[in-house]
Chain A
Amino acid sequence: MATEPVGVTVAEVELVAPGMALRRPGLVTIVWRFCRKKPLGAAGGLLMLLIVVAAIFAGVLATHDPIATNATSTLARPSSQFWLGTDHLGRDIYSRILHGARVSLIIGLGSTLLGSVLGGIIGLLSGYLGGKTDLISQRVMDIFQGLPLLVLALVMAAALGPSVPNVIIAISIPIIPRAARVIRSSVLTIREMQYVEAARGLGVSHLRIAFRHILPNTMGPFIVLCTAQLGSAILVEAALSFLGLGVPEPYPSWGRMLSVSAAEYAQKAPHLVLFPGFAISLAVFGSNLLGDALRDTLDPRLRGA
């Protein structure tokens, strides 16, 4: 007697779980709980939010054109006309910091996302497939991870040349092995879980298991990784720009503002160095605080620690 199909499709099986889920709290509740439990993380988040708002509305908030020079007001001290003073070419530092936030965030977010996504995919495939794929890909990651983030980014930036897309690529490459390692370790645990075995038993394809069943469960570590790398990426961008390998002149970047000319005039006009340095510190501080708090919240091993 031929066996009758059970009449239950994979999609239907998958639909069972949402129906059983508990009612999730709203976004406001989540944020409020996060703020109460992690006040420092919330402060970091607020800082990052302020920087994002400043970057988005830089055109409105800026008092001057960030690249316009002013021969009559070079190295001017902070005043009602120039809130944070001017640089050696008479450019308004406040406006340049606002516009520089765009560059820092675009490069920071762009490189973090690019590196984390690529690294995540490599980690996912490496961890799920295992065997030779895992062995080879992990040895390649070992090579990349052997070099410090800044050194590898420097080499890449020098090879690719200074421009925003190139800097994003240069910074994202050293992030790839870090992301790959984090995601792989999560995948190694998740792939042994019963629901994965069940999916496999039901004949779900490997690709679908990897991307539909395993990947969503690595989101916690992935978000933590992204926030943690964001601070480093902003700092590396500043370092690359400081060394002349970042965004080309005259467009502002915090690192470039700290660069050679600023160092030259630091004694005469310390505000040239102080304000961009302060902006970099705040951004890195904010992203690190937020990243730490998210890690504590999302990582089950550290939850409640």
Chain B
Amino acid sequence: MARFRSLALVAGLALLGVAAVTLVPAIGQAPKYGGMLNVMQREDPPQGFSIHETSTISTVWPGMPCLSNLVIFDPLKKQESMDTIIGELAEKWSWQDNYRNLVFFLRKGVKWHDGQPFTSKDVKYTFDMVREAKEAPAKLRINPRKDWYSNVDNIEAPEPHTVVFHLKRPQPSLLMMLASGYSPVYAAHVPVANYRTGCIGTGPFKLKEWKRGEYIDFVKNTDYFVKGRPYLDGMRYVPIKDRATKFAAMQAGRLDVSFPGDESRTIAEQVTKAEPRIKLTIAAQNVNDNMLLNVTKPPFDNVKVRRAISLAIDRRGAVQAVHQGGGIVGASLAPRPHGVWGLLEKDLAQLPGYGKAQEDKAKAKKLLAEAGFGPSNPLRIEMVTRAIPIYLDLSSFIIPELKQVGVEATLRQIETAQWHPLVTRREYQAGPNLTGIGPDDPDANFYENYACGSPRNYTYYCDEQVMKLIDQQSQELDPKKRLQMVMNIQKKLEEDAARPMIDWRLLYNLQWNYVRNLVPHQSIYNWGRMQEVWLDK
């Protein structure tokens, strides 16, 4: 027995020793300064660095290093929540009057990249412009997230380093939205149009040069307000459209990190198998695949037809076929364990399109027959989608699914530049779509994508009862009660087939093993600041 104990002791000590040798350098290793990071970029940023005018990660990803928010999600924490929010331009903040007033105390001595001082006027200018306040001195050309701030009554800048958001009703989620990569502060002295081609920010990196189609170069901001950051001397974002080419470049060591959301499970596994020094991190994207159905025009003004379309699409089949298993089935908020507000599996199973595929298809046929469509009078629709692989794969899956219930669908492919104006003007009948949401928060999602009149409510679904429920959950301070309300809204949205959800994509992020402190979060829109990143070379 004694001999066994001593053996166990020796083994335990040996294990501890191994752990110490392997773990301590990783945890305790001092960050190294210097070096250039080569970053994968999907395409030239369509709106330049004007994050407030964009709905795509193609702009947020290269825009974030140059800009700063009032608050941001801790870059080193994978799971975002109210508790992981840290100050950025705001040193601290305080909720007052039972979540009706949000006061930010700003950092002093912060300078814009052109040397001008940062003050509370810049904050007021930015968010008055985004919420389209009457007194706003500037206007955005496209304003996708105007409705995030629909509850802001006014913004006050009583002194250079204090700013107050006065709300119409309590809204704790405002802080979550302000912490998203979608909420940077613009300089009041720089015309907003300048952000489409250049970037004057307060962020850790200054824009050096953007040569379209070739590279976007950043250099370290030596005046950055966080002392000792950033670690890198600079970064180069390299736009490469073709998926096979960009991952070949990564494998060859020409790129150090992949573009968030462009990596499929298959390609990530191929790359890591071919080059074991490239690390794979699986996380969430907060991006869902969905089906846009224009409810303003027949036949999708009829809820039965919408529900039939929803029932026809096999969600679990889509996860397997479109993502090779790299996705999760969920409703309008990110499913668990990645998301906080997602419906439980037992609730999902009760919703149209989430049950057994063949039974759901039979129900779809019945609903179509009730709406007057059948073999002698098939429903013919034209779908429209972006001519990029992630949209086309989804469309290729949906068309045969619809065919099985007697819906004859054709596909029109259009370029990204045409896509957003077309869906914003609702000049389409149906369209397979991807929707990304800044933070995993009901307000961010519901107000942006389902609120009556929101520019991003592409389907034009507008239900007064749902709007009331959205407002109610928004001001609910008890998390448990709010969760229940949010779940009920999600059920209602799926039953109405407001924008049938198909699945939620998983992230297969790739980084070379010498890249440190670039931590993927559960939303791709919030971890591109890069001030903590360093190279262990």
Contacts and interface: CB of A to CB of B under 8 A. Distances in A.
B243 interface: yes
Interface stretch (A126-134, A263-271, A285-293, A297-305): A263-271
Interface string B391-412: 0110111011101000000111
A88 interface: yes
Contact of B270 (A65, A260, A261, A268): A268
B321 A89 contact: yes
A74 B395 contact: no
25 contacts: A69-B317, A70-B321, A71-B314, A71-B321, A74-B320, A88-B321, A89-B396, A89-B397, A90-B321, A248-B413, A249-B395, A249-B396, A249-B399, A249-B411, A250-B396, A260-B242, A260-B243, A260-B244, A261-B393, A263-B242, A263-B243, A264-B264, A264-B266, A264-B389, A266-B244
B387 interface: yes
Interface residues of B, number: 33
Contacts of A249: 392, 395-396, 399, 411, 413
Interface of B: 242-244, 247, 264, 266-267, 270, 274, 314, 316-322, 324, 387, 389, 392-393, 395-397, 399-401, 403, 410-413
Contact of A264 (B243, B399, B413): B243
A5 to B, nearest CB: 64
In this complex, which of B392, B396, B410 has the most chain A Cβ atoms within 10 angstroms of its Cβ?
Answer: B396
A264 B399 CA distance: 22
A136 B320 CA distance: 59
Given A71-B316, A263-B244, 4 more contacts: A74-B320, A88-B321, A260-B243, A264-B247
B413 A88 contact: no
A250 B393 CA distance: 9
Nearest to A263: B244
Contacts of A260: 242-244, 389
Contacts of A67: 396, 399-400, 403
Nearest to A269: B266
Given A65-B400, A71-B316, A261 B389 contact: yes
B321 A162 contact: no
Given A250-B399, A260-B242, A265-B266, A88 B393 contact: yes
Interface in A251-290: 260-261, 263-268
Q: Which of A74, A91, A263, A264 has the most CB of B within 10 A?
A: A264
B413 A74 contact: no
Nearest to A260: B389
A219 interface: no
A75 B413 CA distance: 25
A205 interface: no
B270 A267 contact: yes
Contact of B412 (A68, A88, A248): A248
A244 interface: yes
A68 B320 contact: no
A3 interface: no
Contacts of B266: 75, 88, 264-265, 268
B413 A244 contact: yes
A72 interface: yes
A41 B235 CA distance: 58
Contacts of B274: 267
A261 B274 CA distance: 19
Contacts of B399: 67, 249-250
Contacts of B267: 264
Contacts of A267: 270, 274
Nearest to B396: A250
Interface string A213-238: 00000000000000000000000000
Given A260-B242, A264-B243, A264-B266, A71 B393 contact: no
Contact of A71 (B244, B247, B317, B413): B317
A162 B413 contact: yes
Contact of B397 (A65, A69, A75): A69
B286 to A, nearest CB: 23
A264 B411 contact: no
B86 to A, nearest CB: 38
A88 B324 contact: yes
Contacts of B322: 89
A89 B318 CA distance: 9
A153 B266 CA distance: 33
Contacts of A70: 321
A72 B320 contact: yes
A112 to B, nearest CB: 25
A88 B320 CA distance: 9
Give the 7 A-B CB pairs with smallest separation, nearest first. A71-B320, A71-B317, A250-B396, A263-B244, A71-B321, A260-B389, A249-B396
Nearest to A72: B320
